[in-house]
A and B are shown apart, each in its own frame.
Chain A
Amino acid sequence: MNARPAIVALLLLGCATTNLPPATSPALQLEDDERNLWRQAEEAQQRFEAGGILYVDAALESYLEDVARRLVPPSVWAAIPFRIRVVRNPFLNAFAMPNGRIYLHTGMLARMDNEAQLATVLAHEMTHATHRHAVREFRNLQNNAAFALGLNSILPGIGSMAGLSGVRGYSREMETEADEQGFRLVADAGYDVHETTTLFAHLKQQLTEEKKTEPFFFGTHPALDARIENYRKLIEARDVARPRGFTNAEAFLARTRDVVYENALLDLRAGRFVAAERGARKYAALEPSAARGPFLLGEVCRQRAEDDRGEAALAEYHRATTLDPSYPEPYRAIGLVLYKRGDKAAAREAFERYLSLAPQAKDRAYVEQYIGSSR
């Protein structure tokens, strides 16, 4: 018996095309499986967003969508109604749903220096949606399943999905496509394309500091170094006589400075002290008159606990009280440092000042205990 015709028929039946045109016009017709993916994406994003993890700031979302609109013509926006949401998460990550919903982690936004870097990430993620990567990946998996089934009938155990994926590397191709097409969008919108590699350098620095792999598209296939090199080549191929383009750094930093603060808090909670300190310093530089900048720096010093006497933390707390004598938090923190040092009288004074400024403080019960034991 010759099994070849049956295997060929099986493979033909199982294969759906992955060669789909990009979604660039309102006339986009979703295919059946693609429509299913969009519906699943909507269900997933509803559950995801109901978990209370979004960083909600309507003005920031509006700004992010303005930047995204600048990257594609209105016809593309009509085909895929992009929406950008910010997720309270200090890890460097961004991802897109097939229906155009894009999620940016606060960790990613806080690490950026300007709008050109933001545009780089948005353009990359938007390309995943416009180039229909989700359904193409889905069909790749389906086709592999059919192929694996056929192969298994000849060589049992060889045609595993994992093995095929390792050989084919679809994700790598699509990430590269998203990099290249995204780069074109950034350049065509007039942004400074040199900023694309600056962002990668920031990301690489943080990976080194944390001694770990971030769950981030830049950290997956292709490898970070290879992607930096790809971007360099794209810049060289385009550049030479062209003007550098714009970065809109001032507008970007004004819009995102609260994100920088919130993300530094998240880093501090996760015990990522290097990242927390960098974020706190960035915020303090962006908002030099705000007391919460030096207060956060003081918290990083205190919680890192490298200085038994807490001198560095105290210095930052005192800077905060100088900037805003009515801001209660630094007084509690001063009280804690002094209390642990055994300077009970000075600690009591700071705690009393704290409670006078924040009579409804959630930690009032703790503070009253400290005051009581300092008498």
Chain B
Amino acid sequence: MNRHVPRLVVLAGAAVACACASAPRPRWVPANGDYAPDSGRFAVRFPDGWMLLATPKIVMASRDGTLLQQIDVRTHEAGKPLGSSTKKVVSRGMLPQEVAEVVQDAIVSSPGMQGAAMTENGPAEIAGQPGFRLAFAYKDAEGLRIRAVVYGLLAGDVLYQLSYRAPERYYFARDVDTFERVRASFRVTTALAGAAGSQ
């Protein structure tokens, strides 16, 4: 029996190596026109010249580095808390204003965000459906003043969030129109069918 052990160890090691190889670490890649995640839940177009990083939970884009500007798209399942700092959840049938309230509360409950000042919370159309637009400002850990915009849409059991954040000085104004074009390109592809899984 014991003579089989080394072979088993080798096989187990190979299996681990295969598992690692099948889940490559996300890398920044050039944005190349339309983007759709593997889940097929949405499609969006990021600007040429920007870089993309896609993980199972979020796809983010930046031109000069995420400290200077970041656009991201993420999805949340209804019924699951929006982060570790809040127990609130969105649920099917909520009005856009109610969803916005949950998202806003998740933002201001996050560590380091308790001082965030909400400047806007209003209705907005996303992918042809009623959603919301939040705008807020805060200081990061280094004291740099950051401005941010979040669009949200609850479609079926999936909350879609499109966010943009950049330092208030110079960068925010420079790229906010680019973000609006990204938002205008956003399309929901499967959420109304109640797709499950991440992104």
Contacts and interface: CB of A to CB of B under 8 A. Distances in A.
Nearest to B114: A53
B108 interface: yes
A369 B131 CA distance: 12
Interface in A265-323: 266, 268-273, 303, 305
Nearest to A265: B105
A52 interface: yes
A252 B133 CA distance: 41
A62 to B, nearest CB: 23
Contact of A363 (B97, B105, B141): B97
Contacts of B91: 305
A47 B81 CA distance: 30
B79 to A, nearest CB: 11
B81 to A, nearest CB: 7
Contacts of A268: 105
A366 B87 contact: no
A167 interface: no
A89 B95 CA distance: 28
Contacts of B101: 303
A271 B87 contact: yes
Given A269-B105, A269-B108, A271-B105, A52 B139 contact: yes
23 contacts: A50-B143, A51-B112, A51-B115, A51-B139, A52-B114, A52-B115, A52-B116, A52-B138, A53-B114, A53-B115, A269-B86, A270-B87, A270-B105, A271-B87, A271-B88, A271-B109, A272-B87, A336-B95, A339-B95, A363-B121, A366-B96, A366-B122, A366-B123
A-B pairs, 4 with minimum CB distance: A52-B115, A271-B87, A271-B88, A269-B105
Given A266-B109, A369-B123, A369-B130, 11 more contacts: A47-B143, A52-B115, A53-B114, A89-B114, A269-B86, A270-B109, A340-B93, A362-B121, A363-B121, A363-B122, A366-B97
